[in-house]
């Protein structure tokens, strides 16, 4: 997968590029992360990319002509793919694990990070998807882009050491809960995990996990996942997902 990021702050992505699982995925060629400084498309000597909003009001707005030129040049660079163009904005669809799974199946994502008061509205016609990472306002789309990159890259086959580790985690569709009234199954939070030591400061690992009885362990985990979801995120139990679609 190739990920292009249009930003005013390409240097913010250096940490993502060089560290941890995303860094390793870049290193072994599973993904290519290309940052583009929007100022490269500015046409004046001040490299300005924004201007005052028509009609008045506070702040600055990213210019349509500059964003549009950047987008079309970047699309040409990756012409062998058909890129999915995503605008990061608090007005977008709220990001979920299901969306991460869908994006992980794409060949090329182009993420547009806004700044200041926002974008000229006309750029919206050129994007496939608007994404918000939550109902709060960031100073720009960079952190949101990093969230998308991180959550998508780890779902690309071969990126995580053990491919099954993204299957049983929170928000994955579970076959452990029967569909409520049809073909769906609920998303559950992940069951609790333990590792060594078996006991510390009087706190013990549940006996069942030490039993070696994998059928019983599976049953216990499913029950824990259900109870945990009921307690912490009952809203998830009301949702239904079609098995196989996600």
Chain residues that interact with ligand ADE, rule: CB under 6 A: 88-90, 114, 132-134, 136-138, 141, 144
User: Which C-beta is closer to ligand ADE: that of 83 or that of 114?
Assistant: 114
**Strand residue runs (E) in the chain:** 2-7, 32-37, 50-51, 61-62, 84-94, 108-113, 118-119, 129-132, 184-185, 199-200, 203-204, 241-242
User: Which C-beta is closer to ligand ADE: that of 46 or that of 136?
Assistant: 136
Smallest distance, Å, CB 52 to ligand ADE? 20
Residue pair 4/74 in contact (Cβ under 8 Å)? The answer is yes
Smallest distance, Å, CB 92 to ligand ADE? 6
User: Which C-beta is closer to ligand ADE: that of 35 or that of 132?
Assistant: 132
Smallest distance, Å, CB 112 to ligand ADE? 10
3-state secondary structure (DSSP) of residue 110? strand
Smallest distance, Å, CB 142 to ligand ADE? 9
- In sign, the C-alpha dihedral spanning 19, 20, 26, 29 is positive
Smallest distance, Å, CB 140 to ligand ADE? 6
User: Which C-beta is closer to ligand ADE: that of 60 or that of 205?
Assistant: 60
User: Which C-beta is closer to ligand ADE: that of 101 or that of 115?
Assistant: 115
Helix (H) or strand (E) holding 135, with range, is none
Q: Is the peptide bond preceding residue 218 cis, with omega within 30 degrees of 0?
A: no
């Amino acid at each position: 997968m190739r990920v292009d990021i249009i930003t005013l702050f390409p240097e913010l992505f250096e940490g993502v590029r060089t560290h941890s699982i995303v860094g390793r995925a870049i290193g072994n060629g599973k993904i290519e992360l290309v940052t583009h400084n929007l100022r490269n498309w500015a046409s004046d000597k001040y490299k300005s990319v924004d201007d005052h909003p028509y009609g008045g009001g506070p702040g600055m707005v990213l210019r349509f002509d500059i964003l549009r030129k950047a987008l079309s040049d970047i699309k040409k660079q990756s012409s062998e793919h058909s890129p999915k163009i995503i605008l990061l904005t608090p007005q977008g669809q709220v990001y979920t694990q299901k969306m991460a799974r869908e994006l992980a199946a794409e060949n090329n994502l182009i993420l547009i990070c806004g700044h200041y008061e926002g974008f000229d509205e006309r750029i919206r016609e050129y994007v496939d998807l608007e994404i918000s990472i939550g109902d709060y306002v960031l100073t720009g789309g960079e952190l949101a882009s990093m969230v998308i990159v991180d959550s998508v890259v780890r779902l690309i086959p071969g990126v995580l050491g053990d491919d099954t580790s993204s299957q049983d985690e929170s928000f994955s569709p579970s076959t452990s809960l029967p569909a409520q009234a049809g073909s769906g199954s609920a998303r559950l939070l992940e069951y609790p995990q333990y590792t060594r030591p078996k006991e510390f400061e009087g706190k013990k690992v549940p006996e069942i996990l030490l039993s070696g009885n994998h059928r019983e362990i599976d049953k216990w985990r499913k029950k824990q996942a259900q109870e945990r979801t009921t307690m912490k995120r009952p809203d998830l139990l009301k949702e239904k997902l079609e098995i196989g679609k996600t």
